Structure 1
Amino acid sequence: MSTATRRFPLTDWTVVVPVVALLALVFSWGRDLPGFAVGLVALCLGGAVLAAVHHAEVVAHRVGEPFGSLVLAVAVTVIEVALIVTLMADGGDKTASLARDTVFAAVMITCNGIVGLSLLVGALRNRVAVFNAEGSGAALATVATLAVLSLVLPTFTTSKPGPEFSTAQLTFAAVA
């Protein structure tokens, strides 16, 4: 390998950005920040998330299919759940419905955005949209199950007022 193509890992953005984000976290933890500092910390968080996804993508390429797709899916899911849990833990009662709202957003993005855009692009390119019914059926079944479990079912339970699960119901949903 020539020296022109050698990469030094300490100067790679995927190493530098998470370190900068960690420093931003350390210096901003528990403080009231002005608007520009909040924006800077949010930028650092976004960069750290992109670096984590990049690392997961590198691992996914090395592992190959089908495990590479699973590595990427698990990495993105862990990042998303961590962000939601962090927001819910810090927000108090105002964020009690954040997880439910997130599932609703995922349903809307999946059903309307991804499926609709895929059908539109397929029809524009080939005049007839062809899709893998097995794969899309499995994805939509998963989204429908999550939607019923988190959006519909809490409305009909009587253990707590309003569309909320009790602790026992949440434990069952987590295990199931």
Structure 2
Amino acid sequence: MSSHSAAPAPSDRGPVAALLTRSAILRLLLGWVSVGALTLAAPLLAGRPSSAVLALVLAAIVAVIVVAAGGVVRQAEALARRLGDPYGTLVLTLSIVVIEVVLIAAVMLGPGDHATIARDSVMAVSMIIMNLVLGLCLLVGGLRHGSPAVHRVGTSAYLVMLVALAALAFALPATLGEGGRYAPVQAFVIAGLTVALYAVFLWRQMGAQAAEFQEVTVPAVGTPGGRATRPDDGTAPLSLRRIIAVHRGELLARSGLLIATVLPIVLLSHHMADLLDDASDRLGAPVALGGVLIALIVFTPESITAVRAALAGELQRVVNLCHGALVSTLALTIPTVLVIGLLTGTPVVLAASTTNLLLLAATLAVAAISAAAPRVTAIHGAVHLLLFGVYALLLFR
């Protein structure tokens, strides 16, 4: 008998009752009550409220979306643990991408000219994830645990994906397309090739190369080096069909709870887009600031998880979270936005400025050099934080 059998699974105690914790109920209530309140207040907000009221309502919407997004990520992580790889990772990745795409589409299809919102959002994600979050994780991890190691082969796989996908997203539209955007045929082909590459990456990551994305263990005496190993609890992994058969109740309940938690985000995003456009006009805020806001909303829960992993000394998990988040954003969000643009006739400008391209190239170069080292240190983290500081400065130039 497995050691895990002593603790009853949520399905053993009734899946719905077990999953409706106080936290889950509060997130649901907060989300749906906010949707109802904004629906009732829509006529008042349409009458151009004062700047103070506008800022207060916008801040409240953002806070609710962040809380709801945290609930979505929590349910997605639970499903990921239950389903196992690669299916669980797909659930978690798709949940985050859905939230990001919903927010980008709401702004892109809303009032005003937001042809660059996808570019601004994904560029902000790149800088926040790869410089702010990764830099902070390397800094605190290095200060607390010395010089931890990562699996260089797996990290290299992430980085080659990032270099190729970033070039397709931000550099090629300036040379292949017109006005910084792909032509319709080009957008269709690029979207298809990008998704196909990501499918190959997932197939290898969750299959033959799975060990290259696991924590590096300290080598034993007489062994050639550290290896990533799976913990052995004496039980063989169950097939997907068997997992669904055994835990059907829990899987259905968690899926329903995930959907019920993500729906308020979809509904609130429309209100957020309208108010964000109004607030930007009044404040004269940089156009890219909307993209930064979306990036912060989407990746705050995952960023907290990454910092906790760094404090625990799980640096490979930090790499998987940060690099994996950006790979999924470039490989899934960009193609989805391109398809939305094709279907709705909305222009999608992706070409980045020379300054941002240079900053992104420096970011990926620093990440590659750090990954090539036998161990990473707090200095590597400090350099990433420096690059984020420069990006933040450039937002207001």
Band of TM-score, shorter chain = 0.7 to 0.9
Query: In the TM superposition, what is the alpha-carbon distance from 1:126 to its structure 2 partner?
Result: 4.6
2:141 counterpart of 1:128: no
Query: In the TM superposition, what is the alpha-carbon distance from 1:72 to its structure 2 partner?
Result: 1.4
Segments of structure 1 that go 5 or more residues without pairing to the other structure are none
Using a 3 Å threshold, how does the CA distance of structure 1 residues 43 and 7 change in structure 2: closer, same or farther?
A: same
Q: 1:108 aligns with which of 127, 131, 155?
A: 127
2:27 counterpart of 1:27: no
Aligned to 2:182: 165
Distance 2:164 2:118 in 1: 15
Segments of structure 2 that go 5 or more residues without pairing to the other structure are 1-11, 194-397
Using a 3 Å threshold, how does the CA distance of structure 1 residues 25 and 62 change in structure 2: closer, same or farther?
A: farther
Q: Percent identity?
A: 31
Name the TM-score, length of structure 2 as normaliser.
0.37
With a CA cutoff of 8 Å and minimum separation of 6, indicate the structure with the bigger relative contact order: 2
Aligned to 2:100: 80
Distance 2:41 2:94 in 1: 29
CA contact (8 A) 1:49 1:79 kept: yes
Using a 3 Å threshold, how does the CA distance of structure 1 residues 160 and 28 change in structure 2: closer, same or farther?
A: farther
Query: In the TM superposition, what is the alpha-carbon distance from 1:151 to its structure 2 partner?
Result: 0.9
Aligned to 1:68: 88
Using a 3 Å threshold, how does the CA distance of structure 1 residues 122 and 58 change in structure 2: closer, same or farther?
A: closer
Query: In the TM superposition, what is the alpha-carbon distance from 1:172 to its structure 2 partner?
Result: 1.7
Moved over 6 A (4+): none
2:75 counterpart of 1:55: yes
CA contact (8 A) 1:60 1:71 kept: yes
Amino acid at match of 2:20: P
Using a 3 Å threshold, how does the CA distance of structure 1 residues 103 and 145 change in structure 2: closer, same or farther?
A: farther
Using a 3 Å threshold, how does the CA distance of structure 1 residues 59 and 171 change in structure 2: closer, same or farther?
A: same
Using a 3 Å threshold, how does the CA distance of structure 1 residues 129 and 72 change in structure 2: closer, same or farther?
A: same
Query: In the TM superposition, what is the alpha-carbon distance from 1:110 to its structure 2 partner?
Result: 4.1
CA contact (8 A) 1:88 1:96 kept: yes
Aligned pair count?
170
CA contact (8 A) 1:18 1:51 kept: no
CA contact (8 A) 2:31 2:68 kept: yes
Q: 2:28 aligns with which of 15, 20, 31?
A: 15
Farther off after superposition, 106-115 or 136-145:
106-115
Distance 2:81 2:19 in 1: 20
Query: In the TM superposition, what is the alpha-carbon distance from 1:105 to its structure 2 partner?
Result: 2.3
Select the structure of larger CA radius of gyration.
2
Query: In the TM superposition, what is the alpha-carbon distance from 1:169 to its structure 2 partner?
Result: 1.9
Query: In the TM superposition, what is the alpha-carbon distance from 1:65 to its structure 2 partner?
Result: 4.5
Q: Deviations over 1:128-149 (max 9, x none)?
A: 3411112222222232222101
Farther off after superposition, 104-113 or 22-31:
22-31
Using a 3 Å threshold, how does the CA distance of structure 1 residues 171 and 117 change in structure 2: closer, same or farther?
A: same
CA contact (8 A) 2:76 2:95 kept: yes
2:61 counterpart of 1:41: yes
Q: 1:143 aligns with which of 141, 162, 165?
A: 162
Q: Deviations over 1:19-39 (max 9, x none)?
A: 224324533557526313333
Q: 1:96 aligns with which of 107, 115, 119?
A: 115
Using a 3 Å threshold, how does the CA distance of structure 1 residues 8 and 62 change in structure 2: closer, same or farther?
A: closer
